[in-house]
Amino acid sequence: MPQTTAPPIAEKLAEKQKSISIAEFFEKNKQMLGFDSLQRSLITTIKEAVDNALDACEEAGILPDLLIEIKTASPAPNLILTVEDNGPGIVKEQIPKVFAKLLYGSRFHVLKQSRGQQGIGISASVLYAQLSTGKPVRIISKIGSQQPAHYCELIINTSKNEPEILEERVIEWDPPHGTRIELEIKGAYVKGRRQSVLEYLRNTAIVNPHARLTLIDPDGEYTVFDRATDLLPEPPTEIKPHPAGIELGTLMKMLRYTDRQRLLTFLKDSFSRIGEVTAEKICAHAKLKPSCKPQKLTHEEVERLLHAFGSINIGAPPTDCLSPISEDLIYKGVLKEYPVDFIATTNRSPAVYAGNPFLVEAAIAYGGDLPAEGKVEILRFANRVPLLYQQGACSITHAIERINWKYYGLLQPGGFPAGPCAILVHVASTNVPFTSESKNAIADVPEILSEVENAVRTVSGRLKKYLGKRELLSKRKEKENLIKRVLPRLAAKVSDILERDTPNIDPVVARIMGNLLVKRSVRRNENGFDVEIRIENHTNTAQSLKVHDLIPYEIESAEPEPRKAPIGDRFDYLWEVSLRSGERASLTYTIEAGDGKGGDEEVSLPAPMVEGVPAELVTGAKVLGRG
């Protein structure tokens, strides 16, 4: 009988091989995307939805107005999360792929700064909702006031990484345009300062001062982070790859699939900072003809071409692909969310790592409501997105740890700075080198480490000067406090004897101490109130300062006319004043009682705030410190 042979084992093993979709991979590895605990899963889901909304609004030139609502659901710990924006909306055909297909988006191949890049974020949140509760995502989108609103319910077919539409229809929806996404997930809403939804939104508001964010928490409590400016950030411009960052395999792929027929044309059209002269130099150095076909280059010729990129002097990449926050808006953002005594900001010049343009912005805040004990608060951001987790693995933290903080006036137990201080660092780049898919820590790229360290040292140097001045003036403050303890008693006794009202002693204190006196007076008139802010310079030198009046009223008949900026439910009226020693100035305006806030009662106005003068030289006003 003929002998039968079993098929080789390799054939049996081959039968078991099959491709894995990206959705299936993350279905089993959701922790890689930031869904590794109930608290973090909620924050990650909100983050991805908010990032998408902010990017869409900015690309359409719309000031973002976002609503984030969290409701409890049954069974616990289910939560229903709704994020609604006033952006341009999404066309009907794109809705399923945007929200229910991983690695689908418009930004992966575009070299410019953006929050989202890989096309994973919001669809990963939809995948998590599907895994944790089995519920589909519900979406409403409208692209114009004369267009219908489209509603659909989606799930992800993880074996194919494709969306499945469970229901879709046209509905009535009031907003003229925008998108609303609703997900039911397993999550935990935790109140507190660190690693919470509130902290994430607070930090988002700091580095996106043009956005208004409204949170409705599970208890129905509203928190509004109002915009500090009505100016949208300058939109970044798309750039071409820079030759300094190209790897051999990438260059070979570009050459193989280009439609250019001449190497010279390929170099000019495919890379930034390569013109005709530079392209000719590269070809000459690589010993290649400018007219040769890119597709025909051998492996050895491509290696010569890559070597030529590093040997020829090619200009740095253009930086209009970046959209920094700016020192002024960082200052306003920090001041809006953190009442402090001193803020210093800096904006580094753009730099390059592996051909990718990036820049670093930094700020340091001191005093005020910041905790006096414990480590300083580190606020880390990448492309205007807060990084709340993996602080110890981030290059921003590592750069801060390399600094000798004792030199700058802070304690440094265990190698980390401590004191009533917060340090903010923002890294903006076309390609932020995150350590993982969850995008919570920046890798230790030497160029980024160096730029972060230099930026933090710059603002820390200004803090050192501030702390030095404060120490020198502390004795003046002790003397002033002593006078303020003695004079009121004396004034009260004299007033009792003379049977008169006790006078305000601030003018007397200012003269004795040789200070700037800032004094507000309010008098009723027929229609409302006349307000005067009087500034007297009793110091021995000329003083230039800014006077801020942060009040919840519209003012009229101001003399001189101040600059006006809305901050939350108040207005910041700003005057710039310069006085020689012995001079006085008067800032006046009126408040109409008919505005609904004055009424028949007396108005209550906080003390004015001044900026640009040490606190120890001012009597009668709060001083804002700024480096």
Among 269, 287, 311, the domain-final residue is 311
> Do 349 and 393 fall into the same domain?
yes
Confidence at 194, pLDDT banded by 50, 70, 90:
confident
Q: For residue 118, is pLDDT > 50?
A: no
The domain total for the chain is 4
How far is Cα 71 from Cα 82, in angstroms, rounded to an integer? Answer: 9
Do 460 and 386 belong together in one domain?
A: yes
591 versus 105: which is more confidently predicted? 591
Q: Assess whether 176 and 307 both reside in one domain.
A: no
- pLDDT tens-digit map of 209-230: 999 999 999 999 999 999 888 9
Which range is least confidently modeled, 238-252, 347-361, 587-601?
Answer: 587-601
pLDDT of residue 310: 86
CATH code of the domain in which 306 resides = 1.10.8.50
Asked if 512 and 590 sit in the same domain, the reply is yes
Mean pLDDT of 596-620: 75
Q: Is residue 485 part of a domain?
A: no
The domain spanning residue 601 has which CATH number?
2.60.40.2960
Lowest mean pLDDT among 450-454, 471-475, 516-520, 580-584: 471-475
- Boundary of a domain, candidates 311, 337, 360: 311
The answer, yes or no, to whether residue 188 has pLDDT greater than 80, is yes
Do 29 and 166 have their domain in common? yes
Residues 85, 202, single domain; the answer is: yes
Lowest-confidence pick of 27-41, 179-193, 345-359, 558-572: 27-41
Do 122 and 107 contact (CB within 8 A), yes or no? no
**Is residue 321 one of the residues assigned to a domain?**
no
> Looking at 176-254, which runs of residues are DSSP E strands?
178-186, 212-216, 222-225
> From its phi and psi, is residue 115 left (phi > 0), alpha (psi between -120 and 50) or beta?
alpha
Q: State how far the Cα of 344 lies from the Cα of 15, in Å rounded to an integer.
A: 64
| Residue at 483 is within a domain | no
Within a domain: 144: yes
For residues 169 and 204, membership in a common domain is answered with yes
CB proximity list for 427: less than 8 A, separation 6 or greater: 358, 359, 360, 381, 382, 383, 396, 442, 448, 452
Residues 449, 556: one domain? no
CA-nearest of 381, 404, 400, 383 to 392 is 400
CATH number for the domain harbouring residue 204: 3.30.565.10
pLDDT at position 317 is 77
> Are 563 and 598 found together in one domain?
yes
Distance of CA 411 to the CA centre of its chain: 28
Report the chain's mean pLDDT, rounded to a whole number: 85
Same-domain check for residues 307 and 333:
no
Q: Report whether 115 contacts 385 (CB < 8 A).
A: yes
Burial class (CB in 10 A: 0-12, 13-18, 19+), 89: buried
Would you say 185 and 45 are in contact if contact means Cβ atoms under 8 Å apart? yes
Domain that holds residue 522: 506-626
- Residue 250, token pair as written in the block: 């990438």
Q: Which residues contact 194 (CB under 8 A, 6 or more apart)?
A: 388
Q: What span, in angstroms and rounded, lies between the C-alpha atoms of 138 and 151?
A: 7
Can you tell me the mean pLDDT for 276-299?
93
Per the DSSP assignment, residues forming a β-bridge with 625 are: 342
In a domain, 105, yes or no: yes
Q: How would residue 319 be classed by pLDDT, with cut points 50, 70 and 90? A: confident
* CA 530/CA 548 separation, integer angstroms: 17
Instruction: Look at 6-15, 86-95, 263-272, 563-572 and tell me which has the smallest mean pLDDT.
Output: 6-15
Q: Are residues 386 and 460 in the same domain?
A: yes
Residue 68 lies in a domain: yes
pLDDT surpasses 70 at 493: no
For residues 182 and 271, membership in a common domain is answered with no
- Better-scored residue on pLDDT, 16 or 187: 187
* pLDDT at res. 175: 94
Domain boundary (281, 311, 341) is at 311
In angstroms, rounded to a whole number, what is the distance separating the alpha carbons of residues 215 and 577? 39
Percent of the chain with pLDDT over 90: 46
Chain centre to alpha carbon of residue 319: 19
In a domain, 159, yes or no: yes
Q: What CATH number corresponds to the domain at position 377?
A: 3.30.230.10
Higher pLDDT, 164 or 119: 164
Say if residue 339 is preceded by a cis peptide, omega within 30 of 0: no
Q: Which residues pair with 545 in a beta bridge?
A: 577
Question: Helices 506-513 & 446-498, crossing angle to 10 degrees?
Answer: 120
Q: Tens digits of per-residue pLDDT, 530-548?
A: 999 999 998 888 999 999 9
Is 389 domain-assigned?
yes
User: For residue 600, is pLDDT > 50?
Assistant: no
pLDDT for the residue 153:
93
Q: From the CA atom positions of the chain, what is the Rg in Å?
A: 30
